[in-house]
Chain A
Amino acid sequence: MRNILLFIRRYFTFICFLILQILCVILLSRSSKSHETIFSTTANEVTGKVNQQYSGVRQYFSLRETNRLLTEENARLRNELTNNYIDTASTQLVTTDSTLRDSLGRMRKYTFLPAHVIGNTITLQNNFLTIERGSAQGVQKGMAVTSPQGIVGVVVEAGPNISRIMSLLHRNSKVSAMLKKDAVTGSLEWDGADPSYLTLRNIPKSSVIKKGDTVLTSNYSANFPSRLMVGTVADILSESESNFFSLTIKTGVNFFNIQYVYLIENVRYKEQLSLEQTTPTRQ
């Protein structure tokens, strides 16, 4: 017994070192798997507050650019207003609202929620954004995030007022995307090199691609609505050992100065996920 105590006393620093290292590895493995770590909600609220203060100052320097983007978007949306169109018959009254059912009897599938970005990294290999919206405002894990210029990422952690988004610039990020012209679908990833370029893999060599082709989100994604802007093809790499192209995609959104984003909720997200996760039974 005495020897054990002596041993512990002698190697106390080394034991401390080992304990802290093991703690680090546990935290690291847990955070990369599920993004649910010890104290993370509380800590996110604290770091979120600091980010908020800083972003309040930084915002002023990009007001001009933000205004331009918002005006452009407003103009685009105004063009889609119902009172820009006239009905052939004047007996019907068309109203626009955000209820579950529109005038044609279609069910609403996606709802949009604006949010202000208060933290953003681009230099690391695993980048996250922090936004000033949380579960109190209806944010849920798995919601898709887009900006007026292109998609941004997916919500991975929702605190009461602050949430964290896994940016497209994250080594584990995978989004299903397709080419606009022939709807060939591939998987959108990031190789960690340049924050302005993503990689679209698994495009079969049978499809004809040109530089500048538009890439949109595909129909297969559970959280992203289909046909949202992703970017344009910047380079075509032909891998000689496989039957697939690997495309370099210039992102639609500029990650360097992202200010406002929209969170997209798919009302049927959970239904789709639970159905896709069950193994099909043989009939």
Chain B
Amino acid sequence: MNPIIKHSIRFVLFILLQVFVLNTIPPLHQFIVPYIYFLYILWLPLGISRIWLLLLAFIFGLTLDYFTGTIGLHAAPCVAIAFLRPFLLKLLLAQETAEAGYMEPGHKSMGWAPFITYAVLLTLLHHSYLVLIEWLQFGNFLYFMGKVAGTSAISLLLMLIAELLIPRREKQRAVK
């Protein structure tokens, strides 16, 4: 499938999943909010230009914000992880893998250990930034620490399930 169409469909699906499924689940606790929408940014192809990555992340975050009514709350962390993503990938990947343009970060293309490091670091960064914005408006330090830990744990669990459940075909690998 054409990558542009594929990622556009994914864009819509992730927004709908977050807004109409995950945001409507009755919360278990104040600290545990299931977020998975930013997996879209994590799954964008390796070869995407950095400017496009930033702009896509901004539009993606803003779309979610217009649904939840908090304009800019999700866009800011999305842009932050999109900015740091290339640096992290460069550290974690071997040279030849990083050059394969259409490949996406995943356990198949990267291997389990680097992918989990990549996911954990960006998830923690995303949630720390998101909760920090909330913390500046209200709350205390315990709220900040608790919510970052709780939300990151549930997000990572969801991302692991998504990674195992959704088979993403790696064309580049098949050709090799």
Chain A interface residues (CB < 8 Å from chain B): 12-14, 16-17, 20-21, 23-32, 37, 40, 43-44, 46-47, 50-51, 54, 119-126, 128, 130, 164, 171, 192-195, 256
Give the top 3 A-B pairs by smallest Cβ distance, nearest first: A28-B72, A27-B72, A128-B69
A25 to B27 Cα, complex, angstroms: 27
Q: A14-B83, A24-B76, A164-B69 are in contact. List 15 more A-B contacts (CB 8 A).
A: A20-B75, A21-B76, A21-B80, A25-B72, A28-B72, A30-B71, A31-B70, A31-B71, A32-B137, A47-B67, A123-B22, A123-B26, A126-B69, A126-B70, A126-B73
Q: Mark B53-82, 1 if CB is under 8 A from A, else 0.
A: 011001001100111111111011001100
B139 lies within 8 A of A123 (CB): no
For A23, the chain B residues whose CB sits under 8 A away are 58, 72
B33 lies within 8 A of A27 (CB): no
Is there a chain A Cβ closer than 8 Å to B97's Cβ?
A: no
For A47, the chain B residues whose CB sits under 8 A away are 66-67
A127 shortest CB reach to chain B, Å? 8
Is there a chain A Cβ closer than 8 Å to B94's Cβ?
A: no
A173 shortest CB reach to chain B, Å? 12
Given contacts A24-B79, A28-B73, A171-B137, contact A121 B68 (CB under 8 A): yes
Q: Closest residue of chain B to A196, judged by CB?
A: B26
Q: Closest residue of chain A to B33, judged by CB?
A: A123
26 contacts between A and B (CB under 8 A): A12-B51, A13-B50, A13-B83, A16-B54, A17-B54, A20-B58, A21-B76, A23-B72, A25-B76, A30-B71, A32-B70, A47-B66, A47-B67, A51-B67, A120-B24, A123-B23, A123-B24, A124-B23, A124-B33, A124-B68, A125-B134, A128-B68, A130-B69, A192-B139, A194-B30, A195-B27
Q: Closest residue of chain A to B61, judged by CB?
A: A24
For A123, the chain B residues whose CB sits under 8 A away are 22-27, 33-34
Is there a chain A Cβ closer than 8 Å to B20's Cβ?
A: yes
B74 shortest CB reach to chain A, Å? 9
Is there a chain A Cβ closer than 8 Å to B116's Cβ?
A: no
Q: How many residues of B contact A (CB 8 A)?
A: 36
B51 lies within 8 A of A13 (CB): yes
For B24, the chain A residues whose CB sits under 8 A away are 120-123
Is there a chain A Cβ closer than 8 Å to B141's Cβ?
A: no
A57 shortest CB reach to chain B, Å? 10
A43 lies within 8 A of B66 (CB): yes
**Which among A120, A124, A194 has the greatest number of chain B C-beta atoms within 10 A?**
A124
For B69, the chain A residues whose CB sits under 8 A away are 31, 121, 126, 128, 130, 164
A121 to B70 Cα, complex, angstroms: 11
For A30, the chain B residues whose CB sits under 8 A away are 71
Q: Closest residue of chain B to A130, judged by CB?
A: B69
A14 to B55 Cα, complex, angstroms: 12
A119 to B61 Cα, complex, angstroms: 19
Is there a chain A Cβ closer than 8 Å to B133's Cβ?
A: yes
For B138, the chain A residues whose CB sits under 8 A away are 125, 171, 192
For B83, the chain A residues whose CB sits under 8 A away are 13-14, 17
A51 to B67 Cα, complex, angstroms: 9
A193 lies within 8 A of B30 (CB): yes
A16 to B76 Cα, complex, angstroms: 13
- Taking a contact as CB atoms closer than 8 A, the residue among B26, B50, B55, B72 that contacts A24 in the complex is B72
A159 to B145 Cα, complex, angstroms: 38
A126 to B25 Cα, complex, angstroms: 16
A124 to B19 Cα, complex, angstroms: 11
For B67, the chain A residues whose CB sits under 8 A away are 47, 50-51, 119
Given contacts A28-B71, A31-B72, A171-B137, contact A21 B33 (CB under 8 A): no
